[in-house]
Structure 1
Amino acid sequence: MLVTLIAFAVALGILITFHELGHYWVARACGVRVLRFSVGFGRVLLRRYDRHGTEWALSAIPLGGYVKMQDEPEPGASPAQAAQAFNTQPVGKRIAIVAAGPLFNLALAALLYAALNLAGSMEPRAIVAPPPAGSPAAAAGFQGGEEILAVDGRAVRSWTDTRWRLLDVLAAGGTSEISVRTAQDQTQVRALTVPAGGLDPAIEDPLAEAGLRLSALPTVVRGVLPGGPGEAAGLQQGDRILQAGGLSEPDTRSFVELVQGHGEQPLPLVVQRGETRLNLTVTPTLQDDGQGARVGRIGVHLGADPPMVQVRHGPLESLWLGVVRTADTAWFSLRMMGRMITGDVSLKNVSGPVTIADYAGQTARIGLAAYVGFLALVSVSLGVLNLLPIPMLDGGHLLYYFIEIIRGAPPSERWLELGQRTGLALLAGLMGLALFNDMVRLFT
């Protein structure tokens, strides 16, 4: 829990502070006086003033921050001082200042994605398992053991890359042309067709629902417990299970289920040890599984070694791919919002602070790369959300400014007040829905 709370607070602190830095830097460039830049909310713990008179504050609640500008000229201000007020700026400068926050979030996401591309990572190769009968992948002709090389003409290097390239067609429906290398080392093209409307992202794994799963991995013995049936049978660390009973090259789950069902019954095995194939027989002992049932156990630790590939890019390519990934993510987010409005996608996909905090904690435990990827994704979401033309958000202010350009004058006070009430109601409803979904996920 502590890791989750810290990871969540750090994420909000970084993303919201960077958002406010966008407003601050552009406001300063436009000559607007900034009264305070606060990291956090609530009681001020530390403060200092710079030569421009801006108060830099560290506040008690570390959940973001804010920028306070001088909105109106002070009474008796000189023309030069009046020109430093936000509301006296030309509409073009006001647009730039307001838009800078969300745009800085999108820029941060691009830089984070670029850093991940530059650092590189080890990822599973895109080798598919045999698809279930009747699935879109089976209809497309996919066979187990085929490696995906490209999606719609764009090369992919790993399973993670493949998942990302197929995200759009899985969500919206349609056909995607996928180049594969067959087990016979031939290159062929499979046309994967997803029904119109796509697959609901609320399901656990839309890619698996389409019939594409990572190839089942061979079971490897990671360790042997002294005195157990595995040691008595002659199993050693590093042995690869080629056959167990009637199963050929079983994955870890299948092998465990087989062992559990063979309590006190001899189970023939064929294992690969180095260059040697060995025939062994293990007899699982019956043990309590902790839930009132007795199952077979052989006293070994199991694992699997997926074929991996290192994915790394050069500096310029990393930056370009970071920009492309950010743009693709932002566009996908907008399309998902549109599909929620039309009812094509369940509103259960709306997540609130509890789910975001949970993801922050999970990615922080996985490692730095996963956490940085989480920061980039949330930064895109924050940028896109704030650009929506909803009063109370940056996009709502931009909407007013564009109306001002068209009309030649700002909207009336009556319309501004109505917009504020409407925006507040929309945001309150959205937050209520997000918290409801969070609670449902938490308790179910």
Structure 2
Amino acid sequence: MNIIIVGLNYRTAPLPIRERLAFLPSRIQEALAQLMERPAVRECLLLSTCNRVEVYAVTPQVEEGVEEVRRFLADYHGLEEGAIRPHLYAWCGVAAVRHLFRVASGLDSMVIGEPQILGQVKVAYSQACRAKTNALIVNRLLHRTFSVAKRVRSETAIAGKAVSIPFAAVEMVRRIFGTLAGKNVLLIGSGKIGELAAQHFLGHGVHSITVINRTLERARDMAEKFRGRAVSFERLSDQLVSADIVLSCTAAPHYIIRPQDVERILARRGGRPLFLVDVAVPRDIDPLVGSIPQVYLYDVDDLQGIISSNLVSRRKEAEKGELIIEEEVVRFQRWLGNLEVVPTILSLRRRVEEICGTERDKALAALEGAGERERAAVEVMASAIAGKLLHYPIAALKSSRQRRTGNYYVDALRHLFDLDPQTQSGAGEAAAEGDWKEDSQEGVE
């Protein structure tokens, strides 16, 4: 089986493309179920954030699996595959494992070391578990990923200086206004990004924070943390009239602020400009709003300049993180190799012992007058023959894990000894769970 990744991110696709391929949180499990219907997909996980959309899958054939996932992304969103293909990347094997480790550790983020991505990967895994699209390889890969991300953050200072997207959004606002003292802030959405932004806004001395959410109770919970007030979504227009700064980040499937809405609001603002920051993907605010006089609209891609200027101190720490990841990639690949080699060893041992046992029983049946001593000698001889027959092929299989000949030896032995594929699978799960003890320090973890 092979691990593949197909996706796009802020480097390969502009915001208009990313938002067209984004998956709504409420429909992730539906999407996973559809993806699992593809013949080449055996396990899968879907990560959709403001800066990336990635499908992680387990497939018997890399090329076929990659093509299936590309077609799925196009079909699901009703797009022509040719329109999105230039923006998509695909990784397989070692490169795929390395990519996921880098993503979860924050090394592949627009904001190097940002902590939100690890939580988003955990949510993606939880969704796969609920949709039952996870199995042996995805489970092991994701648990290893969480450990790697934790190690990178604990052994480096990659998260030492605040440069998250919420920080960048507030910093951009501060640079434009000069001071935020006395400003009224409206937060649309009560998720983690809004909560982090509220912390930064309070640190700059804003006058008030108002939280709007479709679920009023959630808005109240967040507002209480920041001495703010909660307002129902139906009162959005009224709040836009009084706000100086609006930051929006919801999971709405459509625009919640449109040009006609803003034009009506401006008429009630007495000539005061309206400052809007939209960090949602798909976007909450129609881009045409930005063309209206007295309206200043910024989206997540506009934050890159501020983010880049704050990353110098993290780059050296990121290099340390890359070394950790390379070490962990080798470790995971060793385990993955065992899924092929160890089950074959176990199956081969069973087959040889079965043959020797059958011949031993025939010999003992023919020795009608033999005593206990003679019978014991036959037992020992049969066991010794099995051990000597197994020694060289098992040694070759073990050493093949350190080279690139593992699959060749595995396939040859399976064919020559007619090893049952079903037995292979069962043995693989046993080995993965730690039942295979031999070579435990360097083999199966």
Larger % of strand: which? 1
The structure richer in helix per residue is 2
Same-fold status (TM-score > 0.5): no
After TM superposition, the score normalised by the length of structure 2 is 0.23
**Structure 1-normalised TM-score?**
0.23
Looking at both structures, which has the greater relative contact order when contacts are Cα pairs under 8 Å and sequence separation is at least 6? Answer: 1
